[in-house]
Chain A
Amino acid sequence: MESLKTTGAPSLKELHNSPGFPTEEDIHKGPIAIIECIEEIPCNPCEASCPQGAIKIGKQITNLPKMDFEKCIACGMCIAACPGLAIYIKDYNYSENMVLLSFPYEYYPLPEVGTRVEAVTRHGKYVCEAKVIRVRNPKSNDRTAIITIEYPKEYFEEVVNIKRITVS
């Protein structure tokens, strides 16, 4: 069976059972941060980074981060704060056919706004073409850039990143 501990990436089943992953209902609320951190590791910077108090870990540092999707305003502060690069923002209602994804990216060169990139799954498999909408790399992110792409709604759940851009 495919799982985090055999393939390296969490399966959808594992994610749906974790407290940082949204339900169908949560997704329709608007843009939200989604956390793919399903193991009890001693880590908690995400909790402190959220100005809304939407992420809870508590005193026991190995607790899983729990998202309160009601509180999240999709400000993106948590994305670069997470050393696991495990948080991204998705907006299901971006437009009629397209969804929006903002994710952390630490490879050079950075993609350019307006260009076409290849959207990939949790296993780096090509899914579809995507368009780069925004590239943010403020100093406060300490070199974790945040890339925003749009791609077709039908691939909402499976796309999490883009193929690394290589210079030839």
Chain B
Amino acid sequence: MYETELAIVGAGPAGLSAAIEARKAGVEVLLIDENSRPGGQLFKQIHKFFGSRDHKAGIRGMNIASTLLEESEELGIETWLKGEVCGIEEGRNLWVVRDRKCSELVKAKKIILATGATENAVAFKGWELPGVMGAGAAQTMINVNRVLPGKKVVMLGSGNVGVIVAYQLLQAGAEVVAILEAAPKLGGYGVHTAKVARAGVPLYVSHTIKTAFGKDHVEAVEIVELDSSFKQIPGTERILEVDTVCLATGLTPLTELAWLAGCKFNYVHALGGHLPIHDDKMRSTQPDIFLAGDISGIEEASTAMEEGRLAGINVATELGYISEEEARARSNEIWDSLNSLRSGYFGERRRTSKDSMLQKGKEVIKWNH
């Protein structure tokens, strides 16, 4: 058994930022991640990041991870890699499988869940053929393992993940035959779609995949146009010759541990589905469990880092390392930054959704107010 003041599950931008803030305040921290390197999503992101310069924008994602990592190493944060958290009991004991060999119980006073998200799949005829994969999987193949999943790719989904992975597939030497979007408008940031558009990739709105063909591997797909109520329009089918189909059809927060811990949930469509309820301190409905990053709503690395800092600061306050006053002042600053990140055409909906979540948190999490 291992005892610690704070255990953090997930060493992505949220978990790392939380660990750094808490450790800086003096908290004893254990950071656990199932991968062999920390950084979460960031390690696959070879593109320069968005966000404000205060959140390391303009720097490639993988380098943001390295900076956070260095800081966490300088602070001497205890980190368990290849540590899979498989269970949680009595609100704060974690069951961890280490190195796929042995299991260990971690007893913590406080827990921060920063487990991130997982890719959604969509089903169509032939979707089980080899060659159909998540965009994130393709991204891991090209950027981490340096293997091209195929030569001719069709991307389903035009959100930022779809267009960024399409761009990286071009960089890796593949041909992107088309990007399809079921909605009548493209989803991702215009500057990202413009990158692939000027590389000659056609982007088709109101289109989806009807069928994937192939004997033992994808050889072609039949695409079809959709009407305004997303119904297929007969007679608009076309064949695209491809050997790879990438699905970039959204992310869902990885919330299993929060369910297990008995956290209460709320459905918020704009943030990715069923989410553990939390308040403005990032506390869940379980008093000792805090949340940060994509698990509390699918957003971005910049917001994940800020939420991580909030969780870290508030845990440190409850453990008596930071005064209430200081915590309030620093939290206010972070909230200003979060509100500014959650604005504009893309952010406004996230902001109103987050606000309703916080309102819910305020109602449900009584001991906090």
Contact = CB atoms under 8 A, between A and B. Distances in A.
Given A40-B344, A40-B346, A5 B190 contact: yes
A105 B225 CA distance: 33
A10 B194 contact: yes
Contacts of B196: 8
A43 B49 CA distance: 9
Contact of A122 (B47, B49, B173, B194): B194
Task: Name the residue in A85, A121, A142, A144 with the highest tally of chain B Cβ atoms < 10 Å from its Cβ.
Answer: A85
B51 interface: yes
B197 A124 contact: yes
B100 interface: no
Contact of B198 (A48, A83, A122): A122
A84 interface: yes
Task: Name the residue in A8, A62, A125 with the highest tally of chain B Cβ atoms < 10 Å from its Cβ.
Answer: A8
A45 interface: yes
Contacts of A163: 200
A78 to B, nearest CB: 10
Contacts of B63: 142
A160 interface: yes
Chain A's interface: helix, strand, loop or mixed, by majority? loop
A61 interface: yes
Interface in B345-363: 345-347
B199 interface: yes
Interface range for A: 35 or more
B48 interface: yes
B346 A81 contact: no
B57 interface: yes
A124 B201 contact: yes
B53 interface: yes
Interface in A34-65: 36-45, 48-49, 59-62
A39 B60 CA distance: 21
Contacts of A27: none
A37 B193 CA distance: 11
Interface in B318-369: 340-347
Interface in A127-168: 142-144, 160-161, 163-164, 166
B345 to A, nearest CB: 5
A44 B57 CA distance: 8
B48 A164 contact: no
A164 B173 CA distance: 10
A61 B302 CA distance: 12
Task: Name the residue in B51, B58, B186 with the highest tally of chain A Cβ atoms < 10 Å from its Cβ.
Answer: B58
A109 to B, nearest CB: 11
A87 B366 CA distance: 50
A23 interface: no
A48 B57 CA distance: 11
Given A41-B346, A84-B192, A7 B340 contact: no
A45 B189 CA distance: 16
B185 A6 contact: yes
Contact of B346 (A37, A39, A48, A125): A39
Interface in B157-200: 158, 163, 170-171, 173, 179, 184-186, 189-200
A45 B58 contact: yes
A39 B158 CA distance: 16
A60 B60 CA distance: 23
A41 B189 contact: yes
A161 B198 contact: yes
A82 interface: yes
B52 interface: yes
B203 interface: yes
Nearest to A126: B200
B197 A8 contact: yes
Nearest to A144: B48
A73 B89 CA distance: 62
Given A83-B191, A144-B48, 12 more contacts: A6-B205, A8-B201, A36-B194, A41-B344, A42-B340, A42-B346, A42-B347, A62-B343, A83-B50, A122-B198, A123-B198, A164-B170
11 contacts: A8-B197, A40-B344, A42-B51, A48-B53, A82-B191, A83-B48, A84-B191, A122-B198, A142-B48, A142-B59, A142-B63
Interface of A: 4-10, 36-45, 48-49, 59-62, 81-86, 106-108, 120-125, 142-144, 160-161, 163-164, 166
